[in-house]
A and B are shown apart, each in its own frame.
Chain A
């Protein structure tokens, strides 16, 4: 349902959309079913002259059936949903595939700073590339991100990746993504962070190997620079 609005640009975007679709089908079925029955009953049992309502306690077994059975079917659907949801969750949030590169993402009122590993592909070395409000990633590369916040809560959201993770001051939270499609997309802060909450847009540049290397060499600080980054 979601890919119709926002393209899928990460390995797990399709899983999440698939889960949404699954849940949508299951609850959609129940929704339609119960609403149809509901309105059907309203229409067919309108007050008619001389017709008295039936006296049904609903306590007898053969009556209870009418709610007991659907209720067990709901339980069944719930179990399916839980399993599907947990599988996606574990894949996206809980288990990290080995990283081919690591970026540091630092949120503050009201800007994003990104630390790219640089030519040596190591964070916290002299040739790290620091950027503000733009994140450059190589397509087809498994990235870990180390998420930090300087002041208040922020949330690192890349809709095309279906990725979202709050940043908490004092904590370093690690997550992963692997881009699958070239393009330039939004990065959004999705946790209210003060009056500038709407002023925290950033862009993610998903680039081909070649473009990325070009950008990297263009922006890598000269080897003499010995800025020690990170904290």
Chain B
């Protein structure tokens, strides 16, 4: 019945996607190589560049509404005058895109797809076709989202949390189809990542290289797998909730309609029960990437490998107990708030410990500040700011004032920008040689780094100030609030906007670097960084099937500077 005999072990059908397998049999035509590929590396690239493209759109949105904030009412270059409903649509879709169509696909799906099979020393994901299906559904979801901006009434403008009744009734949000398409897009995206997550988890659990024990798995793989588990454990209620919301919008049911026996608060709980673990779904892969990079470039063994895992587990479990801190003043029973304050503030403990571990790892290292290392260190430095400012909001008492101010916004951008921008650039520049077989240009890389990180602080430190001074979110124009139109407010808003323009300008350096390196970058060789993990054993870029012959694993991933060895690194696949 339950025997692991080999011919039992090769199922290729978790959820019967054969029905979708229309494209399985082209032979390496352009389509089968780049579009309908089942190769995990190609799918990773598809996710990576779809995600980045969506990120550019989201960035453009932020440019538009920041300009509106700084120079309200003026016509904005490349856009024009921003009307209130356009403004709402922009902020809503900026948030949705950056979390669901940039952070998730790039951090979880792209790096997950690229790294997991390579780092575990196997030739592909366990379910290549489900992998492809996952990307296709994701692409569809992106198309639906973009489409939702062009239907009559324009895109959905109820904020990315889309609280009903505003989101549930078109006479309130004035977007009869935009809101529904938004819900559908988000739902599809969840399905895509459920399929992907099953693939990641199964691959990591079952397909490790011979000899690789649990604690020989690189941290980043652990983190991506934990993230997928968190996602699968938390998204269900919201998936059901999304259907309810779509029904409320289009069929006229009353799930969230108070006068018909429904309850708007229910949506908030469904949303945040997923929404908070989601924060850690994107955080964990980011810290995993950072762990890989700082160990390589400080030539150090990771400090307390197991502790990192325990803190990650702790964070993951705790993250299911904190969701209502987003709703302190949203009308939940005040007595519940006390419980959630305690759990929320306590979640700082595993996160703080994780940061301590990373700092401790630097001690006694031999640090070289390459571009990836700069990004990784910047992640730690900046994410700590995001972490500590979170305490103000987790503490229910002070959240009474801070809730829905720009302080909150600055806080979570200090977590999400390090995650979705800094860590992504870190990982991208670090694995670029493996992805494309070329080295990136260090000078351009460093220019891009400083041109991104400094303006980033220039954007959000001012927003901390305006937040403390009472600016609240999602306001298209402050002119009606005398207390929010002081010269001080306006000055800081302009500083933030100008910093954003600088940041955007410097992103072109990155694209220049990308193109230059792909063309002229010098050949990378298998292991340019002299790293230990198995992906550096494969040729760069890895061919279909990744390895000449699949490697065995003999030791942990972080055996750097081992005493009495002349080489200061010791690849996992190298026999003792």
B476: chain A residues within 8 A (beta carbon)? 195, 197-198
Contact A5 B469 (CB under 8 A): yes
Distance of B568 from chain A, by nearest CB (Å): 6
Interface residues on A, range: 35 or more
Contact A82 B258 (CB under 8 A): no
Distance of B169 from chain A, by nearest CB (Å): 8
Say yes or no for B403: interface residue by CB 8 A criterion.
yes
Measured CA separation A86–B334 after assembly (Å):
10
Say yes or no for A92: interface residue by CB 8 A criterion.
yes
Say yes or no for B264: interface residue by CB 8 A criterion.
yes
From A6, which residue of chain B is reached at the shortest CB distance?
A: B470
B364: chain A residues within 8 A (beta carbon)? 45, 53-54, 56
Interface stretch (choices B39-47, B223-231, B352-360, B451-459) = B352-360
Distance of B296 from chain A, by nearest CB (Å): 11
Main secondary structure of the interface of B (DSSP, over half): helix
Say yes or no for A140: interface residue by CB 8 A criterion.
no
Say yes or no for A57: interface residue by CB 8 A criterion.
yes
Interface residues on B, range: 35 or more
With A82-B345, A186-B484 already in contact, the answer to whether A198 and B475 are too (CB < 8 A) is yes
Contact B301 A55 (CB under 8 A): yes
Say yes or no for B166: interface residue by CB 8 A criterion.
yes
Measured CA separation A194–B159 after assembly (Å):
9
A1: chain B residues within 8 A (beta carbon)? 468
With A93-B337, A168-B258, A196-B84 already in contact, the answer to whether A53 and B560 are too (CB < 8 A) is yes
Measured CA separation A51–B299 after assembly (Å):
11
Contact A5 B470 (CB under 8 A): yes
Say yes or no for B472: interface residue by CB 8 A criterion.
yes
Contact A53 B366 (CB under 8 A): yes
Contact B561 A55 (CB under 8 A): yes
Residues in A65-89 with C-beta less than 8 Å from chain B: 66-67, 70-71, 74-75, 78, 81-82, 84-89
Distance of B482 from chain A, by nearest CB (Å): 6
Say yes or no for B548: interface residue by CB 8 A criterion.
no
Distance of B81 from chain A, by nearest CB (Å): 14
Please pick, from B83, B172, B335, B568, the residue contacting A194 in the complex, using a CB distance under 8 A. B172
B380: chain A residues within 8 A (beta carbon)? 38
Distance of B172 from chain A, by nearest CB (Å): 5
With A2-B401, A86-B397, A153-B264 already in contact, the answer to whether A45 and B304 are too (CB < 8 A) is no
Query: What sequence of 0s and 1s flags, for each residue 354-396 of chain B, a beta carbon within 8 Å of any chain A beta carbon?
Result: 0111011111111111000000010011001100110110011
A5: chain B residues within 8 A (beta carbon)? 468-470, 488
From B377, which residue of chain A is reached at the shortest CB distance?
A: A42
Say yes or no for B216: interface residue by CB 8 A criterion.
no
Say yes or no for A23: interface residue by CB 8 A criterion.
yes
Contact A46 B367 (CB under 8 A): yes
B484: chain A residues within 8 A (beta carbon)? 186, 188
Query: What sequence of 0s and 1s flags, for each residue 77-88 of chain B, a beta carbon within 8 Å of any chain A beta carbon?
Result: 000000111001
B478: chain A residues within 8 A (beta carbon)? 198
Say yes or no for A41: interface residue by CB 8 A criterion.
yes
Residues in B247-288 with C-beta less than 8 Å from chain A: 258-259, 263-265
With A82-B341, A152-B166, A198-B84 already in contact, the answer to whether A34 and B398 are too (CB < 8 A) is no
From A71, which residue of chain B is reached at the shortest CB distance?
A: B353
Query: What sequence of 0s and 1s flags, for each residue 27-45 of chain A, a beta carbon within 8 Å of any chain B beta carbon?
Result: 1101100110111011001
Contact A23 B392 (CB under 8 A): yes
Sort A-B residue pairs by CB-CB distance and give the 3 closest, nearest first.
A170-B258, A88-B397, A54-B364
Complex A-B: 8 CB contacts under 8 Å: A19-B398, A52-B561, A53-B299, A57-B305, A58-B361, A88-B397, A93-B396, A170-B264
Interface residues of B (CB under 8 A from A): 83-85, 88, 157-159, 163, 165-166, 172-174, 258-259, 263-265, 298-307, 329-331, 334-335, 337-338, 341-342, 345-346, 348-349, 352-353, 355-357, 359-369, 377, 380-381, 384-385, 388-389, 391-392, 395-398, 400-401, 403-405, 468-470, 472-478, 480-484, 488, 560-563, 568
Interface residues of A (CB under 8 A from B): 1-2, 5-6, 15-16, 19-20, 23-24, 26-28, 30-31, 34-35, 37-39, 41-42, 45-48, 51-59, 63-64, 66-67, 70-71, 74-75, 78, 81-82, 84-90, 92-94, 109, 151-153, 155, 157, 159, 162-171, 173, 185-186, 188, 190-201
